[in-house]
Amino acid sequence: MRVLNVGKAALNRALERGELRSLPHVLTVSLGESKPMGRPLDVPELRRIYAHAIPHVQAFMVWR
């Protein structure tokens, strides 16, 4: 949600500066009061997942 809000602020600023003619619609979804699912993975678990992942998933994990 924070990333979307920062992006919307950047778009608004670009509009004010005349860099954009109009603003695109950015859909936002309220997250509500739900609890997080599960728990964060620890390093040994991440290593096991990485070792068994296919190459493009490994690349995503490194990038992420």
Overall number of domains in the chain: 1
pLDDT at 16 over 90: yes
Contact 28, 4 (CB under 8 A): yes
pLDDT digits (tens, 9 = 90+) for 19-45: 999 988 888 777 777 777 888 889 999
Q: Report residue 6 as tokens.
A: 């920062």
Write the DSSP symbol of residue 17.
Answer: T
Full residue range of the structural domain in which residue 18 is found: 2-31+39-63
Rounded to an integer, the average pLDDT of 60-64 is 89
pLDDT at 42: 92
Using CA atoms, how far residue 53 sits from 7, 42, 46, 50, 59, in Å, is 32, 17, 10, 5, 10
Whether 64 and 46 have beta carbons less than 8 Å apart is answered as no
